[in-house]
Chain A
Amino acid sequence: MSTAFAPTPQIRRKRLLQTVVFGSTVLATIVVALPVAIVIEYVVSHGASAITPEFLFDGPARAGREGGFWPVIVLTMYGLVLAAAFAVPTGVACAIYLAEYARAGLLLRIVNLTIVNLAGVPSIVYGLFGAAFFFDVLNVEKSLWVASATLATQALAIVITSAREALIAVPPGIREGSLALGVSKLRTTLFVTLPQAFPGIVTGVLLAISRAAGETAPILVVGAILATNVDLNPIDAMQGRAQMLSFELYGRITEGLGFEENRKWGIALVLLTVVLIFNISALVLRYRIQSRSRR
């Protein structure tokens, strides 16, 4: 009885081929997932021994060979906050235009295309743009705020894209309800639509900050310096030279001898922690938005 329905050799071959091909896609997936684990494991196992209160909360001594990296950590935070302060209002305003005001047409197509292309511009080109714009056009000195503004230019595309998605996802009925009560379009947008889209916008902002924190090439071009003790008063610090964790790590890789190996990995660990905190919060927030909207 069973022989009548036994798979023919041809079907068996097909099944085998299917198993082999799909099995290799599983393999590829593992190859993608593995580097995350390898990078985190390697950085933690080599850098954890360097992390002491002194390493985190003291200023550098003997050109960073002793002491800690407190100024770099604080200036990185200032730099990121400032970059967000530049990029978020501009980016959200642009997203509001695209999602709420723009009518289908040539202008909208051009702006959309522009944003796609801004997202594809290499980070080092943003660095060159920052250098040309701030040092040659505006004639200002190298400083932390210039580095922040450069990072903000790069972050703009991410903020716009995610904020636009979040605004479009708000159901039209909510807007219409407000408009029907006689509320003006702008106020509807600012006080009704925007709060609804808020979690989605925050997700995009967190991702953008995470990207900016890890970005090295642009600040390399606009002139960052290695760890130095400076006045940590925000106003003075922003006008002083940029110090950032990502650049600190790059500088220490190339420095070579005389700088303890585990201190380099310690910087990598601090950088990775900062970046992943922003990144993972964004992922968690988005997951929660998705599971909320599914209900």
Chain B
Amino acid sequence: MSIGDAIRRRRAGALIDTPIEWSIRATAFLTILILIGILTLLLWQGLQLFIDRGYSVSRFLTFDNAITDNTTDPTKFRFGIVPPLIATLWVTLITLVVAVPIGIATAVFISEVAHPRVRLIIKSVAELLAGVPTVVFAFVGLALVAPRMREVLGWGVGGLSGATAGFVVAFVAVPLIISIADDALQAVPRDLRESAYALGSNKLEVTFFVTMPAAISGLTAAVMLGMARAIGETMVVLVLAGGNSSIPENFTESMRPMTATIASGFGNATEQSLIRPALFMTGAVLFVLTFFTTLIADRVLERQRKRFGR
């Protein structure tokens, strides 16, 4: 084969290569497009509530109930964002109260105390836990947790309350917290620990006064991402939070967080109803909430990565 032939074949190859390479580049833009598309579509559908359907913005922001009636009359529509928002915050609070100590303690155990083989096993177990569908969690929670909440603590309606949901969501969020917290602890350089040992500290002191402070960004990010997971969890809160649409005074009451409001109302919402755009608007609030939590968590993680070069 002459050089001329080789060049010609090379050019023919480039004719095929170039369009494929461009379509590969395009997929990167597709991800950006999807993220922007999500917010745009939620707002486009959601803002119709105020623009087309004539529902007042102040009523949406202040009304103390969130009834998902399928109505087309803006004067009869009783839906405010505050009750689901507060319910979401209650459930998330309970989730964090349960999941953060357990998650961080487990991460400390597998990263600092346990044998590497035990660490691998626990990590696999945590991933299995993450793999269990949340609808199965909801169902098992309904059978095991709700009756105990009713009998022992007397909370909620038939044991269904923000606390019940938050407790079960904790097990949905905990694998994520463990995984990120464990990464953060593992990233702390060895010599930092060894210097402290050389000064006569024991393992507990090294863990609490050297390793954990050094990993604080990663641990914070772990908590924040666990929080984002709790805010967005749907099936568990739909089944276990009780479903009361008014403003919950505290976590022992029956309530309906944002995700559960969307899931329970969307099925029978008709095209012309007010509830459909109202639920899209709720979705937009939910999106913004988790978006900023994730964004801040990522910035915090970035700080740790820069610090330890990984």
Contacts and interface: CB of A to CB of B under 8 A. Distances in A.
Size range of the chain A interface in the assembly:
35 or more
Contact of A249 (B17, B135, B203): B135
A223 to B, nearest CB: 8
A180 interface: no
A128 B142 CA distance: 26
Interface in B251-310: 259, 262-263, 266-267, 279-280, 283, 286-287, 290-291, 293-295, 298
Contact of B28 (A102, A131, A246): A102
A128 B294 contact: no
A160 interface: yes
Given A117-B291, A279-B128, A26 B109 contact: yes
A275 B135 CA distance: 12
B41 A133 contact: yes
B41 A129 contact: yes
A215 B22 CA distance: 33
A162 interface: no
Nearest to A264: B139
A160 B31 contact: yes
Interface residues of B, number: 86
Given A29-B109, A121-B290, A184 B14 contact: yes
Contacts of A33: 122, 125
Given A35-B171, A128-B283, A253-B139, A217 B102 contact: no
Contact of B234 (A31, A185, A216, A223): A216
A202 B37 CA distance: 28
A210 B226 CA distance: 20
Given A110-B32, A125-B283, A275 B133 contact: yes
Interface in B168-218: 171, 174-175, 178, 202-205
Contact of A120 (B137, B225, B262, B279): B225
B310 to A, nearest CB: 13
Interface string A72-98: 000000000000000000100110111
A120 B41 contact: no
Given A28-B109, A268-B139, A128 B279 contact: yes
A213 B133 contact: yes
Interface of chain B: mostly helix, strand, loop or mixed: helix
B122 A187 contact: no
Interface stretch (A37-45, A54-62, A231-239): A37-45
Interface string B119-153: 01010111111011111111110111000000000
Contacts of A185: 17, 21
A279 to B, nearest CB: 4
B259 A268 contact: no
A113 interface: yes
B140 A220 contact: no
A26 B133 CA distance: 26
A227 interface: no
Nearest to A46: B143
B96 interface: no
Contacts of B34: 118, 129, 153, 156
Question: Closest 7 interchain pairs by CB?
Answer: A122-B232, A214-B133, A120-B294, A28-B105, A25-B109, A279-B131, A217-B234
Interface of A: 14-15, 17-18, 21-22, 24-29, 31-33, 35-36, 38-39, 42-43, 46, 90, 93-94, 96-98, 101-102, 107, 110-111, 113-129, 131-133, 136-137, 153, 156-157, 160, 184-187, 207, 210-211, 213-217, 220-221, 223, 246, 249-250, 253-254, 264, 268, 271-272, 275-276, 279-280, 283, 287
23 contacts: A17-B204, A18-B202, A25-B109, A31-B102, A32-B122, A32-B175, A94-B28, A101-B21, A107-B28, A117-B298, A120-B290, A122-B231, A124-B262, A128-B280, A213-B133, A249-B136, A268-B139, A271-B133, A275-B132, A279-B127, A283-B124, A283-B128, A287-B120
